[in-house]
């Protein structure tokens, strides 16, 4: 069975195509066939002007048309698509969603921050972790950060904050917002057993790749701090040249690291795992469960 997910974020749009195979009885394997990322950078419009410009709108439409062709080429029968912080905040977000539907047939849902956090939890990453410990799933995007905490008893809390990489670059995150996040995390994680972070998003994935760590090995907060200091002391061009980063990664990786470091510090976590899963994976899981419930 082929399934697909589309995630339109504040920095990029992703199309994930997955083969679902029942190799073990009652336990499906999700095998990624293709992952395509287009840096739309919607947040740079929305968080400054409150809407998506005609130029960005044309870029979104051409991207969605390309995704539609790929879905047809891969013969994918079912797709689940959503848009997050930038489209939520855009005055013309719903209008653009309707235009995409008209021109491509793709149904895209603009989801809330809490719904985004819940969908990320659909990735079932908690099932593979050590019992008796606590984990804080941290998904950092351009417009928001989604937190999902779970223990051996299940989900402890989930929350979305309007603190994201593009908002930070635009200097649109206040001291009060940082304090609100800090107080929330500290109060909700107080008394929980050993806390470990789980990172999601292109920035933490890139840091993991640069670290040369083996799959499954965590990154320390100290290592994140070292990268943050090193990147912060470089120009954008130097980051791109020295670390072979695209421009749309080189600018947001610094504020992303700041968010991860702060969240981990406030939660009392010293390490973060990077399983390279995210919202698109949660969308695939959610779609698969919907299909199973209909059978």
Mean pLDDT by groups of 10 residues along the chain of 295 residues: 95 95 77 94 94 96 98 96 95 97 97 84 60 88 92 86 96 97 97 91 94 92 97 97 95 98 97 88 90 82
Pair (134, 259) in one structural domain: yes
Residue with tokens 């009060």: 176
pLDDT at 125: 59
> Structural domain tally of the chain?
2
Pair (74, 144) in one structural domain: no
Which tokens belong to 112? 């809330």
Range of the domain at 52: 2-112
Last residue of a domain, one of 87, 112, 137: 112
Last residue of a domain, one of 112, 142, 176: 112
Instruction: Quote the CA–CA distance of 100 and 88 in Å, as a whole number.
Output: 16
Instruction: Quote the CA–CA distance of 293 and 291 in Å, as a whole number.
Output: 5
Q: Is residue 237 part of a domain?
A: yes
Pair (105, 139) in one structural domain: no
Q: Is residue 258 part of a domain?
A: yes
Angle between helices 113-121 and 279-294 (to 10 degrees): 70
Pair (184, 88) in one structural domain: no
The DSSP secondary structure of the chain, one letter per residue, reads: -EEEEEEE-SS-EEEEEEEEEEEETTEEEEEEEEEEEE---THHHHHHHSS--HHHHHHHHHHHHHHHHHHHHTT--EEEEEE-HHHHH-TTHHHHHHHHHHHH---EEE--HHHHHHHHHTT-GGGGSPTTSEEEEEEE-SS-EEEEEEETTEEEEEEEES--HHHHHTT---HHHHHHHHHHHHHHHTT-SSEEEEEESHHHHHHHHHHTPPTTPPEEHHHHHHHHHHHHTS-HHHHHHHHT--HHHHTTHHHHHHHHHHHHHHHT--EEE-----HHHHHHHHHHHHHHHH-
Pair (103, 142) in one structural domain: no
């Amino acid at each position: 069975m082929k399934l697909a997910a589309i995630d339109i974020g504040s920095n990029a749009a992703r199309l994930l195509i997955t083969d679902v195979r029942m190799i073990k009885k009652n336990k499906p394997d999700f095998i990624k066939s293709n992952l395509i990322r287009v840096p739309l950078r919607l947040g740079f419009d929305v968080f400054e002007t409150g809407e998506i410009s005609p130029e960005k709108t044309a870029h979104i439409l051409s991207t969605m048309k390309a995704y539609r062709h790929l879905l047809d080429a891969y013969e994918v029968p079912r797709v689940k698509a959503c848009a997050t912080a930038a489209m939520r905040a855009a005055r013309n977000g719903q209008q653009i969603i309707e235009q995409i539907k008209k021109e491509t047939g793709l149904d895209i849902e603009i989801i809330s921050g809490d719904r985004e956090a819940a969908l990320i939890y659909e990735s079932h990453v908690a099932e593979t972790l050590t019992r008796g410990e606590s984990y804080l799933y941290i998904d950092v995007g351009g417009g928001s950060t989604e937190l999902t905490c779970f223990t051996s008893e299940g989900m402890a809390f989930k929350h979305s904050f309007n603190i994201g990489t593009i908002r930070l670059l635009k200097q649109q995150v206040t001291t009060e917002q940082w304090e609100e996040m800090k107080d929330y995390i500290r109060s909700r994680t107080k008394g929980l057993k050993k806390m470990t972070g789980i990172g999601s998003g292109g920035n933490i994935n890139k840091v993991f790749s640069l670290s040369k760590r083996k799959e499954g090995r965590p990154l320390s907060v100290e290592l994140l701090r070292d990268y943050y200091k090193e990147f912060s002391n470089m120009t954008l061009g130097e980051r791109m040249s020295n670390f072979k980063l695209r421009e749309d990664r080189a600018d947001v990786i610094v504020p992303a690291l700041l968010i991860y470091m702060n969240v981990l510090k406030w939660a009392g976590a010293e390490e973060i795992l990077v399983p390279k899963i995210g919202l698109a994976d949660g969308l695939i899981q959610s779609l698969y469960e919907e299909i199973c419930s209909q059978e």
